[in-house]
Amino acid sequence: MKLVLERREMLSPMLRFSAPVASIGVALFVAGFFLLASGVNPLLAYREIIVEALGSGYGLSETLVKATPLIFAGLGVSLAFRMQIWNIGAEGQIYMGAMGATWVALFSGIHNHWLMLLAMFVAAFLCGGLWAGVAGILRAYWQVNEVIVTLLMNYIAILGVDYLVYGPWKDPNGFNFPLTAQFSDAARLTEYFNTRMHSGFFLALFCALVLYVFMERTVWGYEIKVIGNNQNAAQYAGMNTRTAIFAVLFLSGAIAGIAGFSEVAGLQHRLQHGISPGYGYTAIIIAWLAKRSAIGVVIVAFLMGVILVGGDSLQIMWQLPVAFVYAFQGLILFFLLAADFFIIYRLKLIRGSSHV
Amino acid sequence: MFEILLDATVKAGTPILFATLGAIINERAGIINLGIEGLMLVGALAGFAGTYLSGSLLVGVVLAFCATFIAGSIHALITVQLRGNQIVSGLALTMFGVGITALFGKGMVGKTIVGFERVAIPGLSKIPIIGKAFFNQDLLVYFSFLLVFLIWFFFYRTRWGLAMRSVGQNPAAADTCGFSVSKYRFLAVTVGSGFVGIGGAYLSLASTPMWIENMTAGRGWIAVALVIFASWSSPRAMFGAYLFGGITAMQLRFQAMGTNVSAHVLQMLPYIFTIIVLVISTVRLQKGGNQQPEGLGLPYDREDRK
Amino acid sequence: MTDILQINNIRKTFPGVVALDDVSFTVGRGEIHTLLGENGAGKSTLMNVLTGLYHPDCGNITIAGEAVHFTSPRDSIRCGIGMVHQHFMLVPAHSVFENILLALEKVPNFFNRKVYKEKINQIIAEFDLDLDLDTPVWKLSIGAQQWIELIKLLLRDCQLLILDEPTAVLTPQETERLFSVLNRLKGQGKSIIFISHKMREVMEISDSVTILKKGRSVTTLERGNFDEAKLAALMIGNDKIPEWEKSGQVEDVDVLDIQSLSVQNDRGLADLDDFNLQLKKGEILGIAGVAGNGQKALAEVLTGLKKATHGKIMAGGEDITNSDAKDSYIAGISHVPEDRKAIGIAPDMSVADNLIMKNFKGNAFTNWIFQNKAAIHQNGAAKVKQFDIKAGPAGTPVRYLSGGNIQKVIIARELSEQPNVLVALYPTRGLDIGSAEYVHQVIVDGTKRGMSTILIAEDLDELLKLSDRIAVMFRGKLIGYVDPTNTTRETIGLMMSGVTPEVVA
């Protein structure tokens, strides 16, 4: 007897929906063993995560605070995914967006609140977009692997921001900490309910809506879908795939850049070392988990927000390193990929091999 | 001065060399592995912990190989057996590696070991200028020289190597000749990952004999880029790794000399350099016959009707 | 002596398709056994089962009297079966030597290059071939690549050789050479399964013929019991082939004038080399030639997928070589079996979405920057009805359609813009008779409203039946024109091998 694989004729919607849920479940289960190995009771830890992230109004607001940059970055990465382009550089694009917004906030001299916010937004949009656009041009015109370029540019962006906050932009009154001066009130987003939650969250939801309409209703969305589905067919139909590749990577980076704007204007009110603790990487998982949907990005980003808030409290309670969250995210992806396999194929028994 | 710089070049290039060689083995068989960064960390931690607990550097290196072999088999299982997306699986492997080493490495932070020491090769190390840099190094450096040759020999002078290259180029052709595509791919990913792990161990056992969270700092990604620069050939990987090592060595040298340029800006150099090299080598590949394995990144499904 | 191969009641299904449905036949020793069937009759699938690439759902295979169950090509190789696949199983980047070595059994891991090179060179000399072992395979002609495939089997000492449409890529003269080699192998007691749908070749070489139709083995006939008419009747069955009236409306006006056009491929070699062609209004111009002699490049340069390095494409006195005007003037159906899904459609999108792919920015389907979904759906429904596309419920991804229906989607899209010129590249390859006839009908109907067609096909019968004129291509050049009503297959065959005819009709 031997097991062979067979492609399923039609993909079952039931499986499609349950697979991501199941893979998160299995990942939690396996991560439990790693927690056990480092001396933490996983049940207590998971309870702690739920209570901290969802158990109180404040916890929920913190979850939304974390979800905000994740929604932006996740939308950016998933836009590129639609065209089979891999933007692994959302992290760097967040930093660049934050840098652009900070530059406007500190040095533009604008006093009007709305004008200031608009200028910061545009600066972040452009900085993030151009940063990713470099990879876009390289990919569109010379077929340079965008995965490697966007990724290496993360390191450059982070070092660039470090250069600024350790050097020229350092707050003279900051006790030598690597951060800039605080923004004026004109450069701050509205905060709500006495929590850290700010209007960036609603901007993120709006952004998801715009992107949904863009992809599902406009001619550009159609073009992106065709190119993403079959680049040869798109060229054959007369679409300019080069322009599209650049435009999509630019937009993808620009949206991630808005996350940088939202972080400095809504939350930190200054630029500082480590402004994003890896939101750009988490965004890749969000985009992959959400498959093709902007709405999916919002939902998964919220889930990841829960994990991040919970992860912070694990760090405080059990001194677990924050990076543990990465291990968990890696596990989710592994199990999701494995689940995909069983969505597409089914196992079948056949008679075994025998020959002369 | 030049000798010191060359010496630092080899030291800085060796971990990247191991990682690039490992990645080349992966890609030769048709599997993209973006988990190199995570694998290097696993190797670094396993190597350090093995040495710390046993007191033997050899145990550390062997453990680094084994740990990354196992970590690599996750990627192999997903991409070869389950035909999953190679890019996502590799990214997941990197994330997993970063996270898991942070978790388990907590207890190793601040511990010290005696790292690899220099062993001069009699005669060769007396060659002027290059002798000291290349032949007064530690054993792992010599092992990397050997590995460059062995990998070349394997791919171009043995039947297994021919089969593995064919699997990466045209899996259907290898399959119809009776070679098991999945077996060759699985082996390439796991063994290749093992060598990546030794590259990680070089960081924690020779470069700086200690464990620091996330101590690879992007070297794994640079290795991924160097594979293209090396056009999938092991001797050229050596050249690429040392070129990169040279930039790093110079940057460190500048810092030590105390220039006015910010350390942060200097630290950007290797990444900028890698991107430039990547662009140049990609363009060059397209002009002269492309040497990228044609089956790279594509899962093989025997019954898939195209 | 037992028969070398016996196949009983083999069945193989793919998702949504029954590729083989109860196939049985027997091959004797020292016999050339032809499998005859139309495209899509299941010949290639059957051979993939026989070489262990596919698992049959049921049925059994007996080799030299013993039942076998192949789970991989390795099992099949061990039983002495070797196959030259229609799509060669070669590694283009590797040298001839490496490709052949890969196929050899019992080569030690640390092998002696010299010994094996000598061994291979012996065979090359024996069959009087011109092959350099160190050349990378991609530099060789398709014909030479096929010899490599054959050498692989000979060195492996196969007892049963399977050749899947080997003559599709050969000139008639090369075909003769192949046949003499096959007859020699037959003399050595080897058995050969020869797959073809070209009746004349089948008549020439076969000892016995098994006819496959729609996945079933219809019957097996021994030499002496069959002739062309009988085989054709069995192969096609009761499907009637209506005779076409040629359009007869050709006006003596050049709609396209291609002047010394050159196109290079990715490897810098010339696909088209100083190529000239004139297309008249309302004409169906057939292009004959062995596959790989620049037909694809011609279609691609005309439809804007490739850029010309030299030369001009003139339309009504206007140079449209690299102009955007070309897009609205020429429509192309680029269609090769392996390319249908690869370049013709976006497989995961719906039929309606695929139908607007060339005109998605047009006013009919947009409101400002937004898509007019209602119009798109309406257009989809209308085209599905008009072209009789079996597309399943609305919104079904095109990938789930059959080959014939995918081709109809592509044709519906290409013709929806009322083009002046249609470039059809192998438009009926891989289609069943019904769909193929439909495609012919659409092309002939087009000429009635003044459309000119460049019809690139490999089946001479198809070309002879439809074309007003036939142009023959060889190595990227135009060899000459022939009049289909006043020519012989031999003339075309000679021209396909590069011989310039003294008398061009």
Q: With a cut of 60, say whether residue A354 has pLDDT above it.
A: no
Q: Is there a contact between A331 and A30 (Cβ–Cβ < 8 Å)?
A: yes
- State how beta strands C366-367 and C370-371 pair: antiparallel
Identity at B95, one-letter amino acid code: M
- B28 Cβ under 8 Å from any chain C Cβ: no
Handedness of CA B152, B153, B154, B156 (dihedral sign): positive
- Residue-level pLDDT at C505: 41
Q: Do A88 and B264 touch (CB under 8 A)?
A: no
Report residue C503's pLDDT band, with 50, 70 and 90 as the boundaries.
Answer: very low
B 277-296 residues inside an 8 A Cβ radius of A: 278-279, 282-283, 286
Report residue C238's pLDDT band, with 50, 70 and 90 as the boundaries.
Answer: low
The residue ranges of every structural domain in chain B are 2-287
Q: Do A229 and C79 touch (CB under 8 A)?
A: no
**Residues of C engaging B, defined by a Cβ cutoff of 8 Å:** 14, 51, 53-55, 72-74, 77, 83, 85, 89-94, 98-99, 101-103, 105, 107-111, 136, 138, 152, 267, 338, 341-342
Distance CA A25, CA A22 (A): 5
Domain with CATH 3.40.50.300 in chain C: 5-236, 251-344+420-496
Long-range contacts (CB closer than 8 Å, 24 or more residues apart) made by C479-485: C480/C504, C481/C505, C484/C286
CA nearest to C35, candidates C228, C275, C217: C217
Q: With a cut of 70, say whether residue C40 has pLDDT above it.
A: no
Identity at A163, one-letter amino acid code: Y
| pLDDT tens, position by position, C297-306 | 888 888 877 8
For a pLDDT cut of 90, what percent of chain A falls above it? 63
Buried b (16+ CB within 10 A) or exposed e, A262-297: bbbbbbbbbbbeebbbbbbbbbbbbbbbbeebbebb
Report residue C43's pLDDT band, with 50, 70 and 90 as the boundaries.
Answer: confident
Distance CA C336, CA C295 (A): 11
Q: Do A355 and C75 touch (CB under 8 A)?
A: yes
> What mean pLDDT comes out for the span A216-234?
92
Lowest mean pLDDT, pick from B142-156, B277-291, C99-113, C186-200: B277-291
Query: C touches which chains (3+ CB pairs under 8 A)?
Result: A, B
- B172 Cβ under 8 Å from any chain C Cβ: yes
> What mean pLDDT comes out for the span A335-350?
78
| pLDDT tens, position by position, C446-459 | 888 888 999 998 77
> How far is the alpha carbon of C273 from chain B, nearest alpha carbon, in Å?
21
For a pLDDT cut of 70, what percent of chain C falls above it? 90
Burial class (CB in 10 A: 0-12, 13-18, 19+), A57: exposed
Q: Is there a contact between C184 and C30 (Cβ–Cβ < 8 Å)?
A: no
B 126-155 residues inside an 8 A Cβ radius of A: none
Which runs of E-coded beta strand occur in C361-428?
366-367, 370-371, 421-425
CA nearest to B17, candidates B207, B166, B154, B184: B207
Q: Is there a contact between B64 and B50 (Cβ–Cβ < 8 Å)?
A: yes
Report residue A352's pLDDT band, with 50, 70 and 90 as the boundaries.
Answer: very low
Q: How far apart, in Å, are the Cα atoms of A260 and each of A147, A275, B9?
A: 21, 8, 37
Q: With a cut of 90, say whether residue C227 has pLDDT above it.
A: no
Provide the 3-class DSSP secondary structure of residue C400: helix
In chain C, residues with a C-beta closer than 8 Å to the C-beta of B177 are: 73, 77, 89, 102-103, 152
| pLDDT tens, position by position, C462-480 | 888 889 999 999 888 899 9
- A277 Cβ under 8 Å from any chain B Cβ: no
DSSP code of residue C350: B
- Residue-level pLDDT at C2: 77
CA nearest to C208, candidates C191, C218, C222: C222
Q: Shortest CB distance from C102 goes to which of B157, B166, B289?
A: B166
> What mean pLDDT comes out for the span B233-259?
89
Distance CA C167, CA C194 (A): 10
In chain A, residues with a C-beta closer than 8 Å to the C-beta of B279 are: 138, 142, 144
Q: Do A144 and B278 touch (CB under 8 A)?
A: yes
- Give the DSSP H/E element, type plus range, for residue A131: helix A113-142
| pLDDT tens, position by position, C72-94 | 888 888 898 999 987 788 998 99
DSSP code of residue C451: -
The residue ranges of every structural domain in chain A are 69-296
C 359-378 residues inside an 8 A Cβ radius of A: 360-361, 366, 369-371, 373
Buried b (16+ CB within 10 A) or exposed e, C467-498: bbbbbbbbbbbbbbbbebeebeeebbbbbbbb
**Higher pLDDT pick, C127 / C262:** C262
Q: Outline where C9-83 has alpha helix (H).
A: 43-50, 73-78
Q: Shortest CB distance from B82 goes to which of A153, A326, A337?
A: A337
| pLDDT tens, position by position, A308-332 | 998 888 888 888 888 888 898 899 9
Which superfamily is assigned to C5-236 in CATH? P-loop containing nucleotide triphosphate hydrolases (3.40.50.300)
Q: What angle do CA A201, A202, A207 make, to 5 degrees?
A: 100
- Residue-level pLDDT at C504: 44
In chain C, residues with a C-beta closer than 8 Å to the C-beta of A233 are: 342-346, 357
> What mean pLDDT comes out for the span B213-235?
91
- B124 Cβ under 8 Å from any chain A Cβ: no
- C224 Cβ under 8 Å from any chain A Cβ: no
**Strands across the sheet containing C284-288:** C330-334, C421-425, C452-456, C284-288, C469-474, C477-482
Q: C251-344+420-496 — its CATH code?
A: 3.40.50.300
> What mean pLDDT comes out for the span B244-250?
91
Q: Do B283 and A142 touch (CB under 8 A)?
A: yes
When computed from its CA atoms, the radius of gyration of chain B, rounded to whole angstroms, is 19
- State how beta strands C5-14 and C58-63 pair: antiparallel
Q: Annotate C72-83 with three-state secondary structure.
A: CHHHHHHCCEEE
CA nearest to B76, candidates B184, B1, B178: B184
Query: A touches which chains (3+ CB pairs under 8 A)?
Result: B, C
- B294 Cβ under 8 Å from any chain C Cβ: yes
| pLDDT tens, position by position, C364-409 | 888 888 999 899 999 999 988 888 888 778 788 888 787 778 888 8
Distance CA C192, CA C29 (A): 9
Lowest mean pLDDT, pick from A150-164, B108-122, B291-305: B291-305
Domain B2-287: which topology? Answer: ABC transporter involved in vitamin B12 uptake, BtuC (1.10.3470)
| pLDDT tens, position by position, B81-128 | 999 999 999 999 999 999 999 999 988 998 999 989 999 888 888 888
Nearest CA in chain C to B159: C109
Burial class (CB in 10 A: 0-12, 13-18, 19+), C392: middle
**Both structure tokens of C247:** 């359009």
Provide the 3-class DSSP secondary structure of residue C462: helix
> How far is the alpha carbon of B141 from chain A, nearest alpha carbon, in Å?
26
In chain A, residues with a C-beta closer than 8 Å to the C-beta of C14 are: 7
- Residue-level pLDDT at C336: 62
- Residue-level pLDDT at C433: 67
Residue whose token pair is 């800006």:
B265
Spatial neighbors of A292 by CB under 8 A, at least 6 apart, are A78, A81, A82
Q: Do B160 and C54 touch (CB under 8 A)?
A: no
Report residue C233's pLDDT band, with 50, 70 and 90 as the boundaries.
Answer: confident
When computed from its CA atoms, the radius of gyration of chain C, rounded to whole angstroms, is 24
> What mean pLDDT comes out for the span C287-312?
84
> What mean pLDDT comes out for the span C414-442?
81
Q: Shortest CB distance from A356 goes to which of C55, C68, C358?
A: C68
Distance CA A332, CA B92 (A): 8
> What mean pLDDT comes out for the span A266-284?
93
Q: Is there a contact between A346 and A10 (Cβ–Cβ < 8 Å)?
A: no
**Both structure tokens of C87:** 């799509």
- Residue-level pLDDT at A2: 57
**Higher pLDDT pick, C240 / C146:** C146
CA nearest to C419, candidates C322, C277, C243, C279: C279
Total residues belonging to chain B: 306
Spatial neighbors of B58 by CB under 8 A, at least 6 apart, are none
Q: Shortest CB distance from B158 goes to which of C102, C109, C136?
A: C109
Burial class (CB in 10 A: 0-12, 13-18, 19+), A39: exposed
DSSP code of residue C224: T
Q: Shortest CB distance from A337 goes to which of B38, B78, B279?
A: B78
What pTM was computed for the model? 0.87
- Give the DSSP H/E element, type plus range, for residue C299: helix C295-302
| pLDDT tens, position by position, C211-223 | 888 788 888 988 8
For a pLDDT cut of 90, what percent of chain C falls above it? 21
Q: Shortest CB distance from C345 goes to which of A10, A221, A230?
A: A230
- State how beta strands C160-164 and C81-84 pair: parallel
ipTM for this model = 0.90
| pLDDT tens, position by position, A72-121 | 999 999 999 999 999 999 999 999 999 999 999 999 989 999 999 999 99
> How far is the alpha carbon of C118 from chain A, nearest alpha carbon, in Å?
32
Residue whose token pair is 């990547």:
B278
Dihedral angle, C-alpha B170, B173, B174, B178, nearest 10 °: 160
For a pLDDT cut of 70, what percent of chain A falls above it? 93
Burial class (CB in 10 A: 0-12, 13-18, 19+), C117: middle
